[in-house]
């Protein structure tokens, strides 16, 4: 019961923080694309 409540709290925190999370995902995906492109160009 306590762990279920804890997961609900974590879930609501994730929903509340979804804007910054999506921004972070956008930049990390962009960074990974740049790294991948750089890897293709150097090899």
Separation of alpha carbons 27 and 40, rounded Å: 20
CB 21 within 8 Å of CB 14? yes
Separation of alpha carbons 3 and 5, rounded Å: 5
The tens-digit pLDDT sequence of the chain (43 residues) is 567 766 666 666 666 666 777 777 778 888 888 888 888 787 6
In this prediction, residue 39 carries a pLDDT of 82
**4 within some domain:** no
In this prediction, residue 42 carries a pLDDT of 78
Separation of alpha carbons 10 and 29, rounded Å: 24
**41 within some domain:** yes
Q: What is the pTM of this model?
A: 0.42
Q: Which residue range forms the structural domain that includes residue 27?
A: 18-43
DSSP character for 22?
H
Domain count, the chain: 1
**6 within some domain:** no
**11 within some domain:** no
């Amino acid at each position: 019961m306590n762990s279920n409540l804890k997961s609900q709290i974590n879930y609501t925190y994730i929903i509340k923080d979804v804007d910054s999370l999506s921004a972070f995902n956008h930049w990390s995906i962009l960074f990974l694309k740049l790294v991948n492109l750089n890897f293709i160009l150097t090899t």
